[in-house]
Chain A
């Protein structure tokens, strides 16, 4: 049963994408959209139960284990939320002229193709298939980023595709090196030597020098896709210029998929050349990301760029968690992946509604949101508070755990820098969010009532966010623990 699900799961969004091409009616398209996402979610939950009962399953080049499940669940939940949100958002975007109705079906088809490539990335056992799917996500998302068709969008899409393709070439090079090391260690040539599970079995016998060099290349390569500094230059542009639902998917899931790629290689490297080396590399990149993102967050005017830089910072925190290592650090990193995904998507949704209402992305124009759109403003404030790391929201929990892990391992300098940056960002973010929500509404605000579907999507995410902040439910906790075991070994 689980094995069939393995190849059905990538098929579902593909079929949905193809179905999209058959009609032009906006309502039918949205219905297929939500329906497809719901089916995907349901199947994933079934798969999760199977894996929880019986352990990892594999079928050819695809394999699902608890680590992959964490990311997969994040992906399908966000896909559903995005589908619900798009129903209302699209109506408004069409009215304003940001989206053209004749291009709608290709938009929806591309979004689901994008989701399909991400599913394959998460489920891939074969490192080569992982790379191919990653490049597939680049291609589909590049077209989506430039979808509005105006100048800045095209510029962002171009920068995105060039920088990520450069980065991913490094990633391919690193993959080739690991493959060479595995083949030299005696694994069967052909697909066998590229299988992650097979490599993990012989990992201690791999040549450490080669794996070291390969891992560095992979860090640079997949790190570019993940948005780690200093390869993050494409991220603020791409995430801000894309249509809002696409931004949510990009920031919420895509960069996490790249992180999964890094984690897979990290486990190989840890087994082959000791835990210390990959941990150090991750620490360096993580700290750099956090430090580099901070000044840009403070000086930002564009709300979506602000959220983009925030993603850079949080990816850095995940890398820090993985770098600190140990049981707590890894658990914290995985929890942060989930938390940040949900919260960032919520933030993008709320920002998207605010932008639509005010007709501008500039935060100086968006003022007095609480008066004109109370529910939306509340959700925006909640998301901003959560991103800043305020209890009782989810991000606070995971950030605290990362901190604990760092103290436990004794990385005092890293902890000090991390704390300083987090405090600065907290202040900056609160200032931005507060000035947007409170105060007198500016003239640009439209006073129409809030549409229900975006609110529904947002409240769904907000609910999960608050829940995870208060407590981590037992099934999720068990899943995270098992995933951590896979990494820590």
Chain B
């Protein structure tokens, strides 16, 4: 596969990733956010696979495979199960109006492009505009985590953020060492598990959604 083709494919995947990111920010219901992040993880896995064939780096195949199974299939399924069985609220409750969040997302995208311009020296020629997309994805994931009250949407934001970090790492250095990547993914899985358990615990002990807990102040 010629570098030019890889460049184009990764560019296009980057655009699709940005689209899924917009969908996550604008999601009005949890299901849509979950499907969007699953699609996003799928695209990341594809990008990893493409880069792996282009550079011959075997580690990337492993990472792509793990991302596909864990973040595109297993974790969204778990979230889906929690929403269905546990009668968690399905509406996403934003702290600031969705329009404002979308505006912030646009600002983030533009800022990421500016930022990546100043990071030029480390950018790999082969991965095109993967760096600004990766930065935008990470920051938007954090935005979603910070501006949503619903616990499960915050977890979706966490997954999106980790997707972005992986994409950035891919863009600048063809991925971090395998052991680190695996450790990062493990951490994300554990964090998601702990958070899920907490949501269920709050449900059962306090009989309220975790978004309603706001007594600690001052």
Which residues of A does B touch, CB under 8 Å? 126, 128-129, 131-132, 135-136, 138-139, 142-143, 146, 149-152, 154-159, 161-162, 165-166, 169-170, 172-173, 176-177, 179-181, 183-184, 189-191, 193-194, 207, 209-210, 213, 236-237, 241, 296, 299-300, 305
- Looking at A166, A176, A193, the one whose CB has the most chain B CB atoms below 10 A away is A176
Residues of chain A with a CB closer than 8 A to B169's CB: 176, 179
- Inter-chain contact A154/B177, CB cutoff 8 Å: no
**Given known A169-B141, A169-B161, contact A184–B119 (CB-CB < 8 A):** no
The answer, among B142, B172, B202, for a CB contact under 8 Å with A176, is B172
Q: Is the CB of B138 within 8 A of A173?
A: yes
**Interface size class of chain B, counting residues whose CB lies under 8 Å from the partner chain:** 35 or more
Among the listed A138, A150, A154, which residue makes an inter-chain contact with B198, where contact means beta carbons less than 8 Å apart?
A154
Judged by a CB distance under 8 angstroms, whether B86 is at the interface is no
Inter-chain contact A173/B165, CB cutoff 8 Å: yes
10 additional A-B pairs beyond A129-B180, A152-B216, beta carbons within 8 Å, are A129-B183, A146-B198, A151-B215, A154-B210, A180-B122, A183-B122, A207-B121, A213-B115, A299-B218, A305-B218
Known: A128-B176, A136-B187. A166 touches B218 (CB 8 A): no
A246 to chain B, nearest CB (A): 16
Given the contacts A143-B194, A173-B168, A194 and B122 also touching, CB distance less than 8 Å = no
Q: Are B190 and A139 in contact (CB under 8 A)?
A: yes
Mask, B86-115, CB within 8 Å of A = 1, is: 000000000000000000000000000001
Q: Which of A139, A165, A183 has the most chain B CB atoms closer than 10 A to its own CB?
A: A165
Shortest B209–chain A CB gap in Å is 11
B179-192 vs A, CB cutoff 8 Å, 1 = contact: the mask equals 11001101100110
Closest 3 CB pairs of A and B: A128-B180, A155-B213, A180-B172
**Residues of A with C-beta under 8 A to B122:** 177, 180-181, 183-184, 207, 210
- Interface centre among A135, A169, A241, by most chain B C-beta atoms within 10 angstroms, is A169
B139–chain A nearest beta-carbon distance, Å? 9
Q: When the two chains form their complex, are residues B187 and A176 in contact, meaning their CB atoms are under 8 A apart? A: no
Instruction: Please name all residues of chain A whose beta carbon is closer than 8 Å to the beta carbon of B177 when the two chains form the complex.
Output: 128, 189-191, 194
* A209 partner residues in chain B, CB cutoff 8 A: 118-119, 121
Chain A positions within 8 Å of B183 at CB level = 128-129, 132
- Of the candidates B158, B184, B202, B218, the one whose C-beta lies within 8 Å of that of A165 is B158
Q: How far is the CA of A152 from the CA of B158 in the complex (A)?
A: 23
Name B residues whose Cβ lies closer than 8 Å to a Cβ of A.
115, 118-119, 121-122, 135, 138, 141-142, 145-146, 151, 154, 158, 161-162, 165, 168-169, 172-174, 176-177, 179-180, 183-184, 186-187, 190-191, 194-195, 198, 201-202, 205-206, 210, 213-216, 218
Q: Give CA–CA (A194, B174) in the complex, Å.
A: 14
Query: Roughly how many angstroms separate A155 CA and B119 CA in the complex, as a whole number?
Result: 39
Summed over the interface, the residue pairs from A and B with CB atoms below 8 Å come to a total of 141
Contacts of B118 in A (CB 8 A): 209, 213
CA separation between A351 and B35, bound complex, in Å?
Answer: 48
Q: How long is the Cα–Cα vector from A166 to B158 in the complex, in angstroms? A: 8
Q: List 5 A-B contacts (CB under 8 A).
A: A154-B201, A161-B195, A166-B161, A180-B173, A207-B121
**Taking the nearest CB of chain A, how far is it from the CB of B197, in angstroms?**
8
Complex Cα distance, B173 from A193, in Å, reads 10
A189, B165: Cα distance in complex, Å: 18
Contacts of A128 in B (CB 8 A): 176-177, 179-180, 183-184
Whole-angstrom distance between the Cβ of B108 and the nearest chain A Cβ: 13
- Residue ID in chain A nearest B202 by CB atoms: A154
- Given A128-B176, A154-B206: A172 touches B119 (CB 8 Å cut-off): no
Beta-carbon contact of A155 and B162 below 8 Å: no
Q: Smallest CB-CB separation from B138: which chain A residue? A: A173
A135 touching B191, Cβ below 8 Å: yes
State whether A179 touches B194 (Cβ < 8 A): no
Output the least CB separation between B76 and chain A (Å). 18
User: How far does the alpha carbon of A169 sit from the alpha carbon of B141 in the complex, in Å?
Assistant: 10
Which A residues are CB-close (under 8 A) to B191?
Answer: 135, 138-139, 161, 165
**How far apart sit A43 and B210, CA to CA, in the bound complex (Å)?**
43
Instruction: Return the chain B residue nearest A302 by Cβ.
Output: B218
Residues in A with CB closer than 8 Å to B162 are 169
Q: Taking A149-B205, A155-B215 as contacts, is the C-beta distance between A176 and B121 under 8 angstroms?
A: no
Q: In chain A, what residue has the closest Cβ to B216?
A: A237
List the B side residues contacting A299 at CB < 8 Å.
218
Q: In the bound complex, what is the Cα–Cα distance between A150 and B201 (angstroms)?
A: 10
How far, in Å, is A194 (CB) from chain B's closest CB? 7
In the bound complex, residues from chain A placing their C-beta under 8 Å from that of B146 are 166
Contact assessment for A157 and B142 in the assembled complex, using a CB-CB cutoff below 8 Å: no
